[in-house]
Chains A and B, each alone.
Chain A
Amino acid sequence: MKEVKNILLVGVGGQGTILASRILTAGLIEAGYDVKMSEIHGMSQRGGSVSTQVRFGEKVDAPIIGKGQADVIVAFEKMEALRALPYLKKGGKMVVNDFEIPSMPILSGTAVYPEGILEELSAKADVLSFEAAQIAADLGNPKAMNIVLLGALVKAMNVEGIDWNKAITDNVKKGFEELNIKAFEAGFAL
């Protein structure tokens, strides 16, 4: 079978997974890959769990991936990393933002945010975790957290010959190019 790589981006509605995946696909297309990407709009965008799936290779059929198939997962939120773990391929890599967003059952006191998530993940997979919000804040804007994570994801994907600066410049808001390129580089350097 033709080799297809599977990338899963997970997070919470409103965290910027969509922009990160747009830049990711733009870079991959520019490099000549066939790319399919799938995301869900609508109700889940109101603070629910969200996921974007990106598949690339010589020829891609299905736009979504199943359990045990992701080569790399990037989680914008810690509990979402835990939820996504069954989708990781054995031997796959995980990039995890050390960042907690409690969900409504936790906020309303009917459940507690699970402890020891990073330990659990690290015991099961090759995990790189860091505080992306802090890194982005140090660069001048905590909202660039998503691009820091993208940088770390691209590093973990181990793909070469792609002009990421161009992909970023083409897809972010005017005036924010430099900040986002710096954020990407900071993530890539981790």
Chain B
Amino acid sequence: MKVIMTGNEAVARGAYEAGLVFASAYPGTPSTEILETLAGYKDDLYSEWAPNEKVALEAAIGASVAGVRSMAAMKHVGVNVAADPLFTFAYTGVTGGLVLVSADDPGMHSSQNEQDNRNYATAARLLMLEPSDSQEAKDFMMLGLELSEKFNTPVLLRMTTRVCHSKSLVELGERKEVAPVPYVKNIKKFVATPANGKVMRADMVGRLRDMEEYACTAEINKPEYNGTEIGVISSGIAYQYAREVFGDDASYLKLGMTFPMPMKLLKEFASKVDKVYVVEEMDPYIENHLKMAGIECIGKEIIPEYDELNVDIVHEAVTGEKAETIEVEKEAVLRPPTLCAGCPHRGFFYALSKKKNLIITGDIGCYTLGSAPPLSALDTCFCMGASISTGHGASKALQRIGSDTKVVSLLGDSTFFHSGVTSLMDAVYNKGTNVSVILDNRITGMTGHQENPGSGYTLMGDPATEVDIPALCVALGMKKENIYIVNPNILEEVDKALDEAMAKDEATVIISKWPCILKKYSQEDKDNFDLSARKCVVDQEKCKKCKVCVGVACPAIRAGETVEIDALSCTGCGVCAQACPFDAIKEVR
């Protein structure tokens, strides 16, 4: 039976059919739906959200050592977090097959960079597979687990946004259980001391040679010979674009396995065509391999080396012809993403935006949107968990140079659990003075509402004991009186907490606690927060059209000749009503 699936759903399906037993991940676009789909197979396999990608991969490694097939999934930047265990696990090799899915984001649809994670395969020496559609996503996931066991290596399944989130038809199969490998103590294999590591490292060379030999004859690297004039070498989604641009006359070497690179095969293919094109997204990864082997090719001198490709871009690069388009004279105004109407972060940002002489260090999540005008209440954003540590560094530096500028660091609940805890430990222990703000919206927001250690439920839907954030702060050495818990929809409360915390010469934490407006509320949410339906409306007689309310940056507020609040999108959070200097906005229940 064929069904339409995203690449992510297909990866999960492949894992299920291949007898996978354990999966772990930290949510991150474009990888999130892999584990969400796997959770649907909970009768047959175990899956969980880990607090971060390093923990996810380590747990998957543990499952492999214990003898079962396992996987970890993450977005491209997540692999940076997981890189430490990854490099050494490539030395030790596996017991049960292990696949690490890296979902790269060319074009940065929802990411802070667009690093090309194929480079990880070369750097860590991982067998790498690159699917180009959903059927391959499923097939390569299954093959990956097999090859992992066959060559005793972790496998990198490298996806990109358009493979993850495009849907195409997939042939479904049945699940095949795989007998677990009984555990045998093997210190020489799994204890990576320098002495053992040296042996493993040497052994790896032989394994890589075997893998390369396989890559040269593998079905997924089979050349398609048509005309001899043009030969195209490509992988992943870029192959689909190349196929449309070069048509049926060109010959193709579509590489499903791109590390180790099948050098013999590349040479053979290149020798059979007059001109070789390499079509690949982002880095000149395949191209560099060709050039190092002295094979002439046309690649990045015509194909852009950053941003996402499409058929247009490849077509224009190859033919020099621009696509025929309809000329448009009017210009559409930009539509950047914004904090939703009713977002609990809004109140906090609005109060914070009024404070002066401040550096606000930010983090990864919906609240990065607080950087957009008119709030503009964010100064930095680097990576998960960086807000508190960069804020700590900045405040120490400011102190040393005698500046009175204060630092506020803010991050979400899930990001705090991911890697903010160690940053806060650093700030507290080393007597930092930055104000750390945990925007606790009771869920992982940006990626679409995944449970986390503070939400009280697991990926598979079981209740769990929540991390007690204030108690954790105390355990880190923070004084109780330096921990503030506020309702972000009450501006006075936020304002007061900020003033008090900023006046202190010690590390402080403000926990801004209110559930995400888009969240499907749990019973606990309903018990703990007043989530009853309400709306805000403008009293047109009182409204002076001063447009102060526009400053709260709510998409429900429409200010033209009159100021109106869109009843469909307003959730009645009341932040605009508190901002209004003329008491012209009323809350209606």
Interface residues of A (CB under 8 A from B): 1, 12-13, 25-26, 29, 34-49, 60-69, 79-80, 82-83, 85-88, 90, 102-114, 116-117, 120, 124-125, 142
Chain A residues with Cβ below 8 Å from B369 are 43, 46
* Complex alpha-carbon distance, A124 and B328, angstroms: 8
Among B172-180, B290-298, B408-416, B549-557, the one that faces the other chain is B549-557
- State whether A90 touches B333 (Cβ < 8 A): no
* Complex alpha-carbon distance, A93 and B336, angstroms: 27
Rounded to whole Å, the gap between the CB of B583 and the closest CB of chain A is 22
* Complex alpha-carbon distance, A47 and B329, angstroms: 25
- State whether B310 touches A43 (Cβ < 8 A): no
Tally of B interface residues using CB under 8 Å: 61
- State whether B333 touches A105 (Cβ < 8 A): yes
Instruction: Check: B227 CB closer than 8 A to any chain A CB.
Output: no
Rounded to whole Å, the gap between the CB of B371 and the closest CB of chain A is 12
- State whether A109 touches B169 (Cβ < 8 A): no
- State whether A45 touches B337 (Cβ < 8 A): yes
Q: Which residue of A lies closest to B334 (CB)?
A: A105
Q: Which residue of B lies closest to A111 (CB)?
A: B333
* Complex alpha-carbon distance, A60 and B4, angstroms: 13
Among B182-190, B241-249, B427-435, B485-493, the one that faces the other chain is B241-249
Partner of B553, one of A63, A85, A104, A142: A104
Q: With A42-B446, A82-B330 in contact, is A107–B559 under 8 Å at CB?
A: yes
Chain A residues with Cβ below 8 Å from B24 are none
- State whether A43 touches B167 (Cβ < 8 A): no
Chain B residues with Cβ below 8 Å from A29 are 4, 169
* Complex alpha-carbon distance, A34 and B237, angstroms: 17
Q: With A46-B337, A82-B330 in contact, is A104–B30 under 8 Å at CB?
A: no
Instruction: Check: B110 CB closer than 8 A to any chain A CB.
Output: yes
* Complex alpha-carbon distance, A109 and B29, angstroms: 32
Q: Which of B231-246 contact A (CB under 8 A)?
A: 237, 240-241, 243-244
* Complex alpha-carbon distance, A40 and B167, angstroms: 11
Q: Which residue of B lies closest to A92 (CB)?
A: B326
- The 5 A-B pairs of least Cβ separation, nearest first, read A66-B312, A42-B110, A42-B29, A63-B166, A48-B337
Interface residues of B (CB under 8 A from A): 4, 29-30, 32-33, 109-110, 133, 161-162, 165-169, 237, 240-241, 243-244, 247, 310-313, 315, 323-340, 366, 369, 372-374, 446-448, 547, 550-551, 553, 555, 557-559, 568
Chain A residues with Cβ below 8 Å from B310 are 62, 64-66
Partner of B109, one of A43, A63, A80, A90: A43
**A13, A108, A109, A120, most chain B CB atoms within 10 A:** A108
Chain A residues with Cβ below 8 Å from B247 are 1
* Complex alpha-carbon distance, A25 and B3, angstroms: 11
4 new A-B contacts, CB < 8 A, other than A39-B165, A49-B335, A79-B335, are: A12-B335, A37-B166, A103-B335, A114-B330
Partner of A67, one of B241, B312, B448: B312
Rounded to whole Å, the gap between the CB of B550 and the closest CB of chain A is 6
Chain B residues with Cβ below 8 Å from A83 are 332, 335
Rounded to whole Å, the gap between the CB of B2 and the closest CB of chain A is 8
* Complex alpha-carbon distance, A60 and B547, angstroms: 51
Chain A residues with Cβ below 8 Å from B240 are 61-63
Chain A residues with Cβ below 8 Å from B340 are 46-47
Q: With A36-B133, A62-B240, A108-B373 in contact, is A25–B328 under 8 Å at CB?
A: no
Q: With A44-B109, A47-B338, A63-B240 in contact, is A85–B555 under 8 Å at CB?
A: no
Chain A residues with Cβ below 8 Å from B332 are 79-80, 82-83, 114
- State whether A104 touches B165 (Cβ < 8 A): no
- State whether B335 touches A38 (Cβ < 8 A): no
Give 20 A-B contacts (CB < 8 Å), ordered by A residue: A34-B168, A34-B169, A35-B169, A40-B165, A41-B33, A47-B335, A48-B338, A63-B162, A63-B166, A65-B310, A66-B313, A86-B326, A104-B338, A107-B557, A108-B374, A112-B333, A114-B330, A114-B331, A117-B330, A142-B568
Q: With A62-B240, A107-B550 in contact, is A43–B446 under 8 Å at CB?
A: yes
Chain A residues with Cβ below 8 Å from B568 are 142
Rounded to whole Å, the gap between the CB of A45 and the closest CB of chain B is 7
- State whether A109 touches B559 (Cβ < 8 A): yes
Rounded to whole Å, the gap between the CB of A16 and the closest CB of chain B is 13
* Complex alpha-carbon distance, A120 and B328, angstroms: 8
**A36, A62, A86, most chain B CB atoms within 10 A:** A62
Chain B residues with Cβ below 8 Å from A124 are 326-328
* Complex alpha-carbon distance, A120 and B329, angstroms: 8
* Complex alpha-carbon distance, A114 and B335, angstroms: 13
- State whether A86 touches B447 (Cβ < 8 A): no
* Complex alpha-carbon distance, A104 and B326, angstroms: 27
Q: Which residue of A lies closest to B445 (CB)?
A: A46
* Complex alpha-carbon distance, A87 and B237, angstroms: 20
- State whether B446 touches A66 (Cβ < 8 A): no
Q: Which residue of B lies closest to A38 (CB)?
A: B166
Q: With A36-B133, A63-B240, A66-B313 in contact, is A43–B337 under 8 Å at CB?
A: yes
Chain B residues with Cβ below 8 Å from A45 are 337, 448
* Complex alpha-carbon distance, A42 and B244, angstroms: 28
- State whether B169 touches A43 (Cβ < 8 A): no
- State whether A63 touches B168 (Cβ < 8 A): yes
- State whether A67 touches B325 (Cβ < 8 A): yes
- State whether A38 touches B167 (Cβ < 8 A): yes
- State whether A107 touches B168 (Cβ < 8 A): no
Rounded to whole Å, the gap between the CB of B266 and the closest CB of chain A is 23
* Complex alpha-carbon distance, A39 and B161, angstroms: 9
* Complex alpha-carbon distance, A90 and B324, angstroms: 8
Rounded to whole Å, the gap between the CB of A56 and the closest CB of chain B is 11
Rounded to whole Å, the gap between the CB of A111 and the closest CB of chain B is 4
Rounded to whole Å, the gap between the CB of A72 and the closest CB of chain B is 14
- State whether B550 touches A109 (Cβ < 8 A): yes
* Complex alpha-carbon distance, A176 and B328, angstroms: 39
Partner of B339, one of A36, A46, A87, A109: A46
* Complex alpha-carbon distance, A46 and B370, angstroms: 12
Chain B residues with Cβ below 8 Å from A109 are 547, 550, 559
* Complex alpha-carbon distance, A175 and B33, angstroms: 27
Chain B residues with Cβ below 8 Å from A106 are 333
Q: Which residue of A lies closest to B331 (CB)?
A: A114
* Complex alpha-carbon distance, A105 and B372, angstroms: 10
* Complex alpha-carbon distance, A12 and B555, angstroms: 12
* Complex alpha-carbon distance, A152 and B346, angstroms: 38
- State whether B110 touches A108 (Cβ < 8 A): no
Chain B residues with Cβ below 8 Å from A67 are 312, 323, 325
Chain A residues with Cβ below 8 Å from B327 are 124
- State whether B326 touches A68 (Cβ < 8 A): yes
- State whether B330 touches A110 (Cβ < 8 A): no
Q: Which residue of B lies closest to A114 (CB)?
A: B330
Q: Which residue of B lies closest to A54 (CB)?
A: B167
Q: Which residue of B lies closest to A49 (CB)?
A: B335
Chain B residues with Cβ below 8 Å from A25 are 4, 167
Rounded to whole Å, the gap between the CB of A189 and the closest CB of chain B is 25
